[in-house]
């Protein structure tokens, strides 16, 4: 619409200004993508997670996680169960506390939980592949070969069998360091 007005009613100078504006409008996003190394980051994400580049840009996190699980399961000759949900399952999100605005002249503590859960999963070998379902599963093990969580679940220690999720987390951390 605006372009049409400039082209019909504008003079040479206004058309030039429009052309310069359009060039900037096209060049600046490309420079931003280059500066942020978006293409490199997307390609690395696709490589590490094992999904096509288009999936990184158009799909969510689940496809990347499932892809890694399937790849690692195949590597270990494990079968992956297929879960078909009938309806959209709703999950409660994390609690977000709104910060109080203002200037503080005293130190403010912040907590970063982004790597807390993966660290705990790695440290204690927590995974559905290491979960002991029945007490009969524990009878074949000595007490020092499994752990009991505060919720009463039992997991095999990594000295017996390393879990699928802890291995994936280890792979992701080593890929991040490269």
Look at residue 113 in the predicted model and tell me its pLDDT.
61
Look at residue 17 in the predicted model and tell me its pLDDT.
86
Look at residue 89 in the predicted model and tell me its pLDDT.
64
Q: Where in the chain are the domains?
A: 116-178
For residue 34, the surrounding DSSP H or E stretch is helix 12-35
Taken in order 92, 70, 72, 63, the sign of the CA dihedral is negative
pTM score above 0.95 = no
DSSP structure string for 86-113? SSPPP------PPPPPS--SS-------
In angstroms, the Cα distances linking 58 to 30, 34, 51, 62, 65 are 19, 20, 11, 12, 15
Beta carbons within 8 Å of 80's beta carbon, 6+ residues apart: 69, 70, 73
Mean pLDDT of the chain: 86
Look at residue 12 in the predicted model and tell me its pLDDT.
85
Tens-binned pLDDT, residue by residue, of the chain (178 aa): 556 655 666 788 888 888 899 999 999 999 999 999 999 999 999 999 999 999 999 999 999 999 999 999 999 998 887 777 666 666 677 777 787 888 888 887 776 666 778 888 999 999 999 999 877 788 889 999 999 999 999 999 999 999 999 999 988 888 877 7
């Amino acid at each position: 619409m605006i372009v049409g007005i400039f082209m019909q009613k504008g003079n040479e100078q206004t058309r030039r200004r429009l052309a310069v504006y359009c060039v900037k409008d096209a060049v600046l996003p490309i420079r931003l993508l280059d500066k942020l190394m978006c293409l490199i980051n997307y390609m690395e994400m696709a490589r590490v997670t094992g999904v096509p580049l288009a999936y990184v840009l158009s799909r969510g996190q689940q496809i990347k996680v499932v892809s890694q699980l399937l790849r690692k399961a195949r590597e270990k000759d494990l079968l992956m169960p297929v879960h078909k949900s009938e309806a959209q399952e709703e999950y409660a999100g994390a609690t977000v506390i709104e910060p109080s605005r203002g200037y503080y002249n005293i130190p403010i503590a912040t907590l970063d939980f982004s790597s807390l859960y993966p660290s705990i999963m790695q440290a204690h070998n927590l995974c559905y592949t290491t979960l002991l379902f029945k007490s009969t599963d524990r009878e074949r093990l000595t007490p020092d070969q499994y752990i009991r969580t505060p919720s009463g679940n039992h997991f095999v220690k990594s000295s017996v069998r390393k879990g699928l999720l802890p291995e994936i987390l280890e792979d992701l951390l080593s890929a991040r360091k490269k």
